[in-house]
């Protein structure tokens, strides 16, 4: 279709093989070198090995998600100079291999947070859920983060205590693991003490200090990205709020504008995750996309449903709080603008981000990569493809005729 449809793959150990992804109709594969420890060098040899695995399955590795930013870089201490140089050289190697879109994030300590990885919906499918009371129970009584009691009112504290007391020791262990040991593509065996040690490195660090460290990081890596014909695209904070008392700086429209202004160049781009940003009910997702459309290199299409008190769950792709029709139409408009300007790479890679656990995936252990069961994402991709089909045919008939002809020829 007009958008470059892609699917995330976690490598050879992923329970969803490349053959399934191809059957889903995806053109591109979004993946990473998950076997390489955070902060270490991605060699050209390892990158090409992964490219060959994907191409042998009849697809192309079109987006890197993610090239991890080590905690040393975020706090600008320890071995951060070597790790920045590794990041720079990894970018050079990715550029040599023709990989142009490189996703990363700058979230302190935890990459993303949910409190229930298998929240049951009324139709029997399961999704990811963030509950503020449950997270308070984690912070207050499991992690025992100093100062956490100041971040919650008395009513939340009492609800959190009641929730904590309701769990058996084994349930508490599973609950805790679901929060702290969900780094994309790998289970790192992270413990509560590991989290406490990581948190201690951010002591007395406020938003200004974290943004300063981020600016220093951009100063070091954006020139290398552009020399290598790469675009670095940053993923929004997930959820878009302070977590563990730590500052975050990519949560809303003002943050987005400030982030792009730090380096006003195309190399400093956006991974526009509609799902992450929609967890803040105040965010106008379509307006946010339009405000940064020219700097968007990659899009995650999903939607969340706010449930009050800071809670939300991940809704199906065409439901929830995101106006998916208007967002997809805005993506098509941006691609047409790029096409009219003469850009050969005008198509924006998208992927159906996450998906419910449903049908016979419910009987499988789908939580090694929460949100990434096969059938729910296939359903999401099919819905998004149908939405795009309808928008193109009704609003852009000439574009539709061109691409429908290409699709028919490709199917022969």
Active-site hit among 164, 186, 237, 300: 300
CA distance 383 to 172: 37
Structural contact between residues 125 and 376, judged by C-beta atoms closer than 8 angstroms: yes
Between the CA atoms of 238, 313, 299 and 218, what dihedral angle is there, to the nearest 10 degrees? 0
Residue 34 among the catalytic residues: no
Known catalytic membership, residue 273: yes
Which of 235, 255, 271, 313 is labelled catalytic? 235
Q: What span, in angstroms and rounded, lies between the C-alpha atoms of 114 and 170?
A: 19
What is d(CA 272, CA 43) in angstroms, rounded to the nearest whole number? 28
- The single residue of 14, 72, 237, 353 carrying the catalytic annotation is 353
Rounded to 10 deg, the angle between the 253-262 and 207-227 helix axes is: 50
Active site residue 300: yes
Check 273, 313, 317, 361 and give the catalytic one. 273
Closest CA to 217 of 113, 91, 95: 91
How many residues are recorded in the chain? Answer: 412
* 91, burial (CB in 10 Å: exposed 0-12, middle 13-18, buried 19+): buried
Pairwise CA distance, residues 248 & 210, whole Å: 8
35 is catalytic: no
Are 106 and 60 in contact, with CB atoms under 8 Å apart? Answer: no
The DSSP symbol for 272 reads: E
Of 149, 110, 341, the C-alpha closest to 237 is 110
- Which are the catalytic amino acids? 235, 273, 300, 353-354, 372
């Amino acid at each position: 279709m007009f958008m470059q449809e892609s699917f995330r793959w976690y490598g050879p150990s992923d329970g969803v093989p490349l053959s399934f992804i191809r059957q889903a109709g995806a053109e591109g594969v979004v993946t990473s070198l998950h076997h390489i420890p955070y902060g270490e060098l991605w060699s050209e040899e390892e990158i090409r090995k992964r490219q060959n695995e994907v191409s042998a399955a009849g697809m192309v590795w079109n987006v890197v998600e993610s090239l991890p930013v080590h905690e040393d870089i975020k706090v600008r201490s320890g071995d951060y100079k070597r790790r920045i140089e590794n990041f720079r050289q990894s970018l050079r190697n990715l550029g040599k291999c023709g990989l142009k879109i490189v996703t990363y994030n700058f979230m302190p300590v935890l990459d993303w947070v949910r409190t229930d990885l298998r929240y049951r919906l009324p139709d029997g499918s399961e999704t990811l859920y963030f509950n503020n009371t449950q997270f308070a129970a984690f912070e207050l009584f499991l992690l025992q983060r100093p100062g956490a009691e100041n971040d919650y009112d008395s009513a939340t504290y009492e609800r959190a205590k009641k929730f904590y007391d309701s769990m058996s020791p084994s349930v508490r262990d599973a609950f805790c693991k679901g929060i702290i040991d969900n780094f994309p593509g790998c289970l790192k065996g992270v413990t509560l003490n590991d989290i406490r040690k990581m948190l201690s490195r951010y002591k007395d660090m406020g938003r200004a200090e974290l943004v300063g460290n981020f600016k220093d990081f951009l100063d070091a890596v954006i020139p290398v990205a552009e020399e290598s014909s790469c675009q670095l695209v940053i993923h929004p904070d997930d959820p878009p709020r302070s977590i563990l008392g730590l500052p975050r700086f990519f949560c809303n429209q003002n943050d987005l504008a400030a982030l792009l202004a730090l380096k006003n160049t195309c190399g400093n781009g956006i991974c526009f995750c509609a799902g992450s940003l929609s967890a803040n009910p105040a965010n106008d997702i379509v307006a946010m996309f339009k405000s940064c459309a020219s700097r968007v290199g990659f899009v995650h299409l999903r939607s969340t449903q706010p449930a009050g008190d800071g809670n939300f769950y991940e809704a199906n792709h065409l439901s929830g709080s995101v106006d998916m029709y208007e967002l997809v139409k805005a993506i098509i408009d941006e691609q047409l603008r790029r096409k009219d300007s003469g850009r050969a790479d005008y198509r924006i890679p998208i992927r159906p981000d996450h998906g419910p656990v449903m049908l016979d995936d419910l009987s499988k252990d789908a939580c090694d990569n929460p949100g990434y069961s096969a059938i729910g994402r296939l359903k999401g991709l099919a819905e998004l493809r149908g939405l795009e089909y309808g928008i193109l045919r009704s609003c852009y008939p000439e574009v539709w005729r061109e691409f429908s002809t290409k699709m028919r020829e490709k199917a022969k």
